Amino acid sequence: MTRYIFLDFDGVISTDRNNLGRKDLGLPVRDELGPFFDANAVDNLNRLVDATDADIIITSSWKYLGFDAMRELWKRRSMPGFLRGITPDVTGGYMFKRGMEIARWLHDNTCDEPQSYRYVIVDDGDDFLPEQIPFAVFTNPRIGLSAEDADRAIAILTE
């Protein structure tokens, strides 16, 4: 069975805690790739990927930099897992925009065989379709992906 993690960045692996902590220490909060990621949140993402062997699909607004830029970021920051893709942009002022983008990605990439895959959405927002909510783990944007959040995501992907 194939497993997917639909991953947001801001509020999940790029956190207020990390940015404010770096500022307080007089350290830069970003490089040419964007804000630095929170080491604790990345460790929890790594544990999630290790436990599930899930591929990552980026839902974050960072995806507008393009898939090549996301692959470069993933490589240069030694991020865990295999970066499978980015969700397509669904234009317009739709409610549930991110949920519609995830639904479109799943439709386009899974041959409409829901029994052949499992997915989890990791995000600090709630812009998802009602049927996606049971597959969502909502993070606290201040601390990002916590150990408890990773445990919930692992449970969703391995049930």
Parallel/antiparallel/unpaired status of strands 55-58 and 136-138: unpaired
Predicted pLDDT at 111: 72
C-alpha to C-alpha distances, 74 to 68, 78, 80, 84, 141, nearest whole angstrom: 10, 6, 8, 11, 21
Between 33 and 7, name the one with better pLDDT. 7
pLDDT band at 150 (very low <50, low <70, confident <90, very high): very high
Confidence of residue 115 (pLDDT cuts 50, 70, 90): confident
pTM exceeding the 0.85 threshold for the entire prediction: yes
Per residue, what are the HEC states of the chain?
CEEEEEECCECCCECHHHHHHHHHCCCCCEECCEECCCHHHHHHHHHHHHHHCCEEEECCHHHHHCHHHHHHHHHHCCCCCCEEEECCCCCCCCCCHHHHHHHHHHHHHCCCCHHHEEEEEEECCCCCCHHHHHHEEECECCCECCHHHHHHHHHHHHC
Asked which of 24-28, 41-45, 48-52, 131-135 is least confident by mean pLDDT, the reply is 24-28
The band of 91, judged by pLDDT with boundaries at 50, 70 and 90, is confident
pLDDT higher at 23 or 148: 148
